[in-house]
Amino acid sequence: MLTIILVLVVFSMLILIHEAGHLLAAKKLDVEVEVFSLGFGKRLCGVKAGGTDYRISLFPFGGYVKMAGEDPSEAKGGSGELSSKPAGHRFWIIAAGALTNYIFAFILFSVIFMIGVPTLSNEVGQVLKDYPAEKAGVKVGDSILSINGKEVEYWDDIVETIKEESAGDGPVLDIEIMRDGELMALGVEPEILHVTNIFGQTISRPMIGIAPRSKILSVSYDPFRAVYFGGRRLLVLTGMTYKGIWLLLTGGMPLKTSVSGPIGIAHLMGEAARLGIVPLLIIMAHVSMALAIFNLLPFPVLDGGHIIFLALEKVRGRPLSVGVQEIITQVALVLLIVFALFVSWQDLLKFTPLGGK
């Protein structure tokens, strides 16, 4: 029960951060914000300030912002209405929600690197039989200190350095290890294997046949390096997300096994919460980034769809008629609901007894 409450709180917080972005941008650009609500449904309590009703509603999951003139069919032409503002102003108000989620993800990743990010040590936990490492004499318990003169402190360093050095001219890797307090140098020639990556693609990868010991270190950094690593992690994940979306659209990655919705995310969030605060923050950062990217997709109903309408308005010199926008939005809403139901059913099969697990 506590896990369910925690998941609801986290989801609500991320959605409220998104809506707060719309609120702040609207206030800055002199658009009247009628309601800023925590939750949906009947108003339970709240306070009115600056012309806005800040309220708590009956169903405290997520929230919303209601701006004057947001619905073109209800617009009266007032100067404080969203529809009366220039296209550039409306763009920033629409995009602000996703940008706020993205900034929040960056802050979370930076905090994670300051607190201490879970990292595998440089100690070998498994040596695969008949692979290059075994043939060269690597043993379980060895600590890898350097590869071709490059120091490696954590397992991620080892993986990345093997990949980089194997792409060079010299096929043999000079690996320095520590075994029982004694320094040793070994020459290992990687095998190039064809493996499947996280996108379901077959790629070539150098392997020497070792696996890490399940020894998790908590590695923290000073604020400046934490911000650098946090930003780098966010950019890498953003690139991977857009690559995944492209592969889904082009059929390069299966939809059934590659996409998760609220049920799958809630499951992962619950599992992370049991492991501690840092794993939970990592999941929160991923979800906040995903919300930003998803909301900016050029699909009607989403913020990205509204931006497409704005772009068409700039090109045509006038907005699409209210009727056309409503038809497009209704069709898109049906498609989005069908997609959400499909993803939710796949999540139920993956994460509940319905899938036979």
Name the residue type at position 9. V
CA distance 317 to 339: 33
In 3-state terms, what secondary structure has residue 50? coil
CA distance 95 to 295: 9
CA distance 61 to 45: 15
Name the residue type at position 93. I
Please identify which of the residues 19, 70, 81, 176 carries the catalytic annotation.
Answer: 19
Helical pair 303-316 and 322-351, crossing angle rounded to 10 deg:
150
Residue pair 220/237 in contact (Cβ under 8 Å)? The answer is: no
* 151 among known catalytic residues: no
DSSP per residue over 277-322, as a string?
Answer: HHHHHHHHHHHHHHHHHHHTSS-TTSHHHHHHHHHHHHHHSSPPPH
Instruction: Supply the residues annotated as catalytic.
Output: 19
